[in-house]
Chains A and B, each alone.
Chain A
Amino acid sequence: MAEKLVIMVTHGPDQPVLASIAFAMAGGAVAYDVEVVMIFQGDGCLLMKKGVAETVAAPEFTPLRELLPTLREMGAKFIACSPGVKMYGLSQEDLIDGVEIATAGRFVAEVMSATNSLVY
C-alpha cells in the first residue's frame, strides 16, 4: 500500500512562512511518491480561496502560485474544513476548483489511515 502523509494547515496568508513550509513538505512528499492529503482548518482555509495562494510567498521557498499547481498535477488532495470556510463567509464556489469541504470526522479518518501526519 502506498504511504500517505496528511498535512494539516492551520495558518493562512498572514503567516506566509508557516503556510509555505506546509506546502514545501507536501512538495517533498509527492516527489517521494507519497500520497498527500492537505487539510486546511481555521485561517488555513483562506489559502484555498481562489486567488489567495497566488499572493503567498516566503523567502527561500517556492511561491505557492508555482507549487500549488504542481502539487495538484502530482495528485495531492486538498480538503477544507467546513466551519473555517463558513467562518470566512466562503462557499464551494469561492474555493479553488477541486477542493473538497469536510468536517472533523473525515479529517480523523484521513489521519488515522495515514502513515504519518504533520500540523502547521
Chain B
Amino acid sequence: MTTILSEADASALTAARVVDARGTGCPGPLLEAKKAMAGVAVGDVLELWSSDPGTKTDVAAWAGKVGHGFLGSVAAQGYDRVFVRRAK
C-alpha cells in the first residue's frame, strides 16, 4: 500500500518522465500513462499532466489494479499533475 503524499510532498518529487496529456479526450490520459510507464524504470516516478478532473482518481484506481504506486496529485493552473511510481 503506497501512502498518498500531500501536495507539498508530491510537488517535491522528481519525475523520471513527464507526460503532457492535457487536452486529450477520454481515455487519453490513462492510455498515455500506460504507454509512458513502459519507458520508466522500476522505482522511478512518472508525472502525468491532465486537464481532465477525472484523471487523478482514474489513475489512482489504475495504479492500484496494475500494481504501481499512486503517489498523489498536485493542482496546477487548469490541470492536475499526477504522480505514479513504477513498482514492477
Partner of A33, one of B24, B25, B26, B66: B66
Query: Once the chains bind, are B65 and A70 in contact (CB under 8 Å)?
Result: no
Number of interface residues of B (CB under 8 A): 14
Chain A 12-44 near chain B by CB (<8 Å), digits 1 or 0: 000000000000110110111100000000000
Partner of A62, one of B24, B33, B58, B62: B24
Query: Once the chains bind, are B30 and A28 in contact (CB under 8 Å)?
Result: yes
A63 interface residue per 8 A CB criterion? yes
Partner of B26, one of A61, A70, A74: A61
Contacting residues, chain B, for A61 (C-beta < 8 A): 25-26
A60 interface residue per 8 A CB criterion? yes
Docked CA distance A25–B28 (Å): 11
Query: Once the chains bind, are B25 and A31 in contact (CB under 8 Å)?
Result: no
Interface centre among B28, B58, B65 (most CB of A within 10 A): B28
B31 interface residue per 8 A CB criterion? yes
Docked CA distance A30–B62 (Å): 11
Interface centre among A24, A63, A74 (most CB of B within 10 A): A24
Docked CA distance A33–B62 (Å): 10
Partner of B34, one of A24, A31, A67: A31
Interface residues of A (CB under 8 A from B): 24-25, 27-28, 30-33, 59-63, 67, 70, 74
Q: Identify 19 residue pairs between A and B in the complex whose beta-carbon atoms are under 8 Å apart, listed by A's number.
A: A24-B25, A24-B27, A27-B30, A28-B27, A28-B30, A28-B58, A31-B30, A31-B31, A32-B62, A32-B65, A59-B25, A61-B25, A61-B26, A62-B26, A63-B25, A67-B27, A67-B31, A70-B35, A74-B34
